A and B are shown apart, each in its own frame.
Chain A
Amino acid sequence: MTHQHEGDDHDHDHAHPHAEIGEGRPGYYDIMETAVRELLIEKKLIGADEIRRQIEVLDSRSPALGAKVVARAWTDPAFRARLLANGRAACEELGISFYDDTQLIVIENTDKVHNLIVCTLCSCYPRPVLGLPPDWYKAKPYRARAVVEPRAVLAEFGTIIPDDVEVRVHDSTAMVRYLVLPRRPAGTEHFSEEELAALVTRDTMIGVVPATVDITGAAP
């Protein structure tokens, strides 16, 4: 269970709509996963309790954690500096553990640079901080196109990057995970840390949209 590679995420209850789960015949990979899992348990290499516990670990991680990290960075310059220097250590300060032993690099959006995260190989994602990735992040069109035509992909999310702003795509392919530190929206000077965290959606931390005061249209 050391690696999160990253197949079936549907062992849990959640609110977003799904294409047919629990209907029809299980697919090839469903059957293979079940067979391997049962074999590992039968051979006593892992226990059912360990699997259940790992699902609990994953379910305890969500974009709400990442949003708190971002809001802290917006309000505490010393924390922001530590976060950009060593993302994992700064998150650990807030009690977020890195159960998968990944490093975290936090990259900051500025008026000169816009960052976008992808994993072209599979679906590497800062799960300790954000939880499970969205389905589109794992789908081949996003993974292939984000490194070829990032500006077109961003435009489809409604994010138009001016030509004089550098687009930096981060392809996470090994042990490192990435988190975008979005720009703090203008007009939020009087916001509390809690109010700021409410502006920080999952998609802002992947880098497909900016953080905005009106978030109604920002995240699905």
Chain B
Amino acid sequence: MDGTSKSAGPLSGVVFALGEKAIFKAGDRVRVSTRSPIGHYRVPTYLRGKIGSVEKAIEPAGIDNEEEGYGRNAGSKRHYYRVAFRMSEIWPDYAGSERDGLHIEVFETWLERAER
């Protein structure tokens, strides 16, 4: 950690598998997908299409419960994130303080990069 060792940093030339690395990082703006698939999923309807900020990727990655719900566990680990939303983004006529917010975990498969 003191930088004196040449082996301290990651080695170059290592290629990571698809999905191995988290796509989003803290501070990224993300929009929750507006899909309504048939099946088992846990993204609340009230957040579809809403824009929030990634707080962090949660480690370790978790088994995608949309797959697990049908008994398919192997190889279906997905990154998921703590995402923060302003209450006023979710509820346009929210009555409380403008500071108030909602924090939730969302799997990567439900997040799209947002501009604003």
Contact = CB atoms under 8 A, between A and B. Distances in A.
Interface of A: 103, 105, 120-121, 147-152, 163-176
Interface string B90-114: 1100011101111111110000000
Nearest to A154: B96
Nearest to A152: B95
13 contacts: A103-B58, A147-B44, A147-B102, A149-B96, A166-B99, A166-B100, A167-B101, A168-B100, A168-B101, A169-B87, A169-B101, A171-B44, A174-B105
Contact of A169 (B65, B82, B95, B102): B102
B22 interface: no
A169 B63 CA distance: 24
Contacts of B24: none
B86 to A, nearest CB: 10
B91 to A, nearest CB: 6
A121 B97 CA distance: 25
A147 B107 contact: no
* A-B pairs with lowest CB-CB distance, top 6: A166-B99, A167-B100, A171-B104, A173-B42, A151-B96, A175-B62
Nearest to A162: B97
A174 B97 contact: no
Contact of A151 (B63, B90, B95, B101): B95
Contacts, number: 75
Interface in B47-99: 58, 62-63, 65, 80, 82, 87, 90-91, 95-97, 99
A164 B46 contact: no
Interface residues of B, number: 25
B104 A170 contact: yes
Given A170-B103, A171-B104, A147 B46 contact: yes
A166 B101 contact: yes
Interface of B: 42-44, 46, 58, 62-63, 65, 80, 82, 87, 90-91, 95-97, 99-107
A146 B101 CA distance: 12
Given A147-B102, A170-B103, 10 more contacts: A103-B58, A121-B44, A147-B44, A151-B95, A151-B97, A163-B97, A167-B96, A169-B87, A171-B44, A173-B42
A150 B62 contact: no
A147 B89 CA distance: 12
A156 B97 CA distance: 18
B84 to A, nearest CB: 8
B8 to A, nearest CB: 22
Nearest to B95: A149
A148 B107 CA distance: 22
Contacts of A121: 42, 44
A173 B96 contact: no
Contacts of B103: 168-171
Contact of A148 (B91, B104, B105, B106): B91
Contacts of B104: 170-173
